[in-house]
Structures are given as C-alpha cells and as structure tokens.
Amino acid sequence: MSQSDLFTPLIDADAAYALFASKPALTPDNAGVFMGVTSTGIFCRPGCPARLPKAQNCRFYHSAEAALTAGFRACKRCHPTRLPGEASTLIKTLVSLVEDDIEHRWREQDLIARGIDPSTARRQFKSRFGMTFTQYARARRLGAAHNTLVSGEAVITAQVSAGYDSASGFRAAFSKTFGAPPKNKSAPPLMVDWIDTALGPMIAVCDSAHLYLLEFTDRKALPKQFARLSKVHGRAIIPGRTDITAQISDELTQYFDGSLQDFKTPLAPTGTDFQKQTWAALCAIPYGQTRSYAQLAEAVGNPKAVRAVAGSNASNGMALIIPCHRVIRTGGHLGGYAGGLGRKNWLLAHEAKHAKA
C-alpha cells in the first residue's frame, strides 16, 4: 500500500506536512489527518505542541487505527486516539458519580474529598454541557423525581429522593425545569445526552421510543432547536440517557468506522408536511452519492421550490441520519452545511470510500 493510499485522498503528503507545520487548531477539516514519525515511532494529530520532525521522517494516515497498525504509538502530548472534543477523564468520572448515586446532593466538599478541584469541574462542565456540574446533578435528580411521580409515588417521596428538605424549594425547582408544579400526570421529559464522534461531539435528544434531535454541539441554531422542540412537544429537556440514546450511539460508532450505511434508530422529526416530504427525499439519496438542490426539488414534485427545499434541508434536526450533507450545488460545489463545510467534505469522502468497499 502506498503512502497516498494510507492518507486521505483529499490532501497530498506535501500539503499534510504544511498543515502540521502551521500548528493549527483541531477542526473537522483536519480531524482525519494523522502523522507518524519514523524517527520516534510516535504518531500525532494536527496542533500537537511537539517539535515538527523532518519531512522525510513523516508518514501520513487517514485514521488513528491505520497509524497504530503501521506500528506507531500514540503521542502523549496531543492524544491522537481521542476523538475531537471528547469528554475529559474528569467529566467522565463526574458523570459516573452522578449516575451511580443520582439522589445524592453533590457539594464542593464532596469533590474536594475526592481530590477534584470544584472550579475545574465547573469550567469543564460549562464548556461541554453549557451548565455547571452542580446544575447537571440537580437536573438528573429532578428527572429521577419526575419518574418517581409518574410511577405513582407521592410528591413528598419524589421531593425526598431529589434531596430537597424544603417542599417549597422542590416545587420551585421542579416548576422551573418542567414548566409545571410536581404532579403525577405531567408529560415525561425528553432526555439529552452528548455523544463523542470522529468529527466532534454530537447531542442527542431522546425518549424511550424515539430520537427527536441529533446535531453537532457547535451548531449555532441549537438553542432555538431545543426551545422549539420543548414547545412543540410540551416536554422539558433534561440530561439523561435512554435505550434509544444507546442505540444511536452504537450506530454512530458503526457509521464512522464505515460498517453502517443505513441507520435503524426510530425517529420523531419535528417539522411541517413539506419539510417531512423533503426529508424523505433526502433519505432516498443512496449512501455514497449526491444530488443537487434542483434535483431534490424535483424529487418532492416542485422544481421551483429550490429555496424552500434548501431551507428544509438545513432544518431537519437529524444530522447524518437525514443526510442533508449529500446535497450539493449544481456543478459540484459543496454549497452550505450547518455543521461546517469541513465536516461535509469529510462525510462525502468517507461515504464515497466505503460505498466502494
């Protein structure tokens, strides 16, 4: 196998070396680029703070697995085997603490007793989840309290299980989260969780039966999507996982390693009849192929509705599953993509490669 076969077909070796020399930040555009150094036996990813080796000592690969297979070991400075934006060890530890004892009311002294700096925990949680560790733990307690009420238990039981000594404090926190005071027949919440992928973290909103939203976490419209989803379905959105979360997480892993072409996770997309018609047409585009916006408009039976189709395309709320990345401009230009053109380029190359395999 030649070096060009091992490396992504979108960039040649000279361009890859220049990329590493520029010390860029890790982005979706370069997340699939890895450099093995024959003089040290180590492989790195773009942005590594280590000194740039000589060009003749570099080999380039399209995946960490390929570099490992070639005999290189992972750099301890840039950690190339980790996914872009992957949750830190600290975040994983803290999430496990909450999940192992959801009813516990976590305080700073609890973290300090475990050798964890509360300010570091706060900062890392805020960066990944948009909320502090304390807020995350409280949301999980309230979610558990909600499930207690749905199961038929008394409000006082739910209050105690959520760690609230004050009935008024519990009612206020519950009402703020769910939009209504605690009662046995309130609508069950939608559960949101974060999933690490090869192109950065994604966020999934599920209940026990369907996936309602899947997006990259850096999508600018995400807060509006959350608000609309909650309003349309009349359900609060709180941190947590369901069996559907586990299913889509497993399928995303398979998709990114090239072993899955059709997602099976049951969906509950939120949109108008025209939008849903457009999304059905998107799902009909075969893996590894593309269509133009004009062709998509023809597929929905309205050749003049190119702009409306493009708008529906961008607002499907099911990244990768409803494959809006497979729509390009007439003439072959990529066009737009809410997840960023770097991701779109990577996805199209990834699917083209594995469609031929």
Map residue 79 onto helix, strand or coil: coil
Mean pLDDT of the region 301-325: 90
Are 163 and 157 in contact, with CB atoms under 8 Å apart?
Answer: no
Structure confidence by residue, pLDDT tens digits, 80-106: 877 777 778 888 899 888 888 888 888
DSSP letter string over 209-228? S-EEEEEETT-TTHHHHHHH
Does 94 lie in the same domain as 50? no
Q: Residue 183: inside a domain, yes or no?
A: no
Distance of CA 210 to the CA centre of its chain: 17
- Domain stops at, among 50, 74, 98: 74
- Is the pLDDT confidence value at 5 over 60? no
- What distance in Å separates the CA atoms of residue 292 and residue 295, rounded to the nearest whole number? 5
Tell me: do 166 and 207 sit in the same domain: no
156 contacts 149 by C-beta, under 8 angstroms = no
Lowest mean pLDDT among 19-23, 63-67, 105-109, 213-217: 63-67
Q: pLDDT, tens digit, for every residue of 208-219?
A: 999 999 999 888
Tokens, residue 12: 């040649």
How far apart are the C-alpha atoms of 15 and 18, rounded to whole Å? 5
Report if residue 326 sits inside a domain: yes
Helix (H) or strand (E) holding 155: helix 155-161
Instruction: Give a yes or no: residue 84 inside a domain.
Output: no
Q: Count up the domains in the chain and report the number.
A: 4
pLDDT above 50: residue 168: yes
Q: Which of 48, 58, 78, 324 is catalytic?
A: 324
Residue 243 lies in a domain: yes
Q: Would you call 206 a catalytic residue per the annotation?
A: no
Q: Does residue 130 form part of some domain?
A: yes
Q: Is residue 309 part of a domain?
A: yes
Active site residue 58: no
Give the residue from 125, 145, 178 where a domain finishes. Answer: 178
Q: Which residues contact 174 (CB under 8 A, 6 or more apart)?
A: 142, 145, 146, 181, 182
Token match 């997480």: residue?
249
CATH number at residue 351: 1.10.10.10
Range of the domain at 142: 89-178
172 and 94 in a single domain? The answer is yes
Q: What is the pTM of this model?
A: 0.72
Task: Decide if pLDDT at 4 tops 70.
Answer: no
User: Which of the residue ranges 191-200, 220-229, 261-270, 337-346 has the most confident prediction, judged by mean pLDDT?
Assistant: 261-270
- Residue 27 makes CB contacts below 8 A (sequence gap 6+) with 84, 340, 342
48 belongs to a structural domain: yes
Show the CA angle centred on residue 324, arms to residues 318 and 325, nearest 5°: 115
Choosing from 44, 48, 58, 78, the catalytic residue is 44
In this structure, the answer to whether residues 20 and 61 fall within a common structural domain is yes
Q: Report the CATH number that the domain containing residue 115 is assigned in CATH.
A: 1.10.10.60
Question: Are 94 and 173 within one domain?
Answer: yes
Domain boundary among 256, 290, 308: 256
Instruction: Identify whether 262 is part of a domain.
Output: no
Same domain, 171 and 94: yes
Residue 238 near residue 140 (C-beta atoms within 8 A)? yes
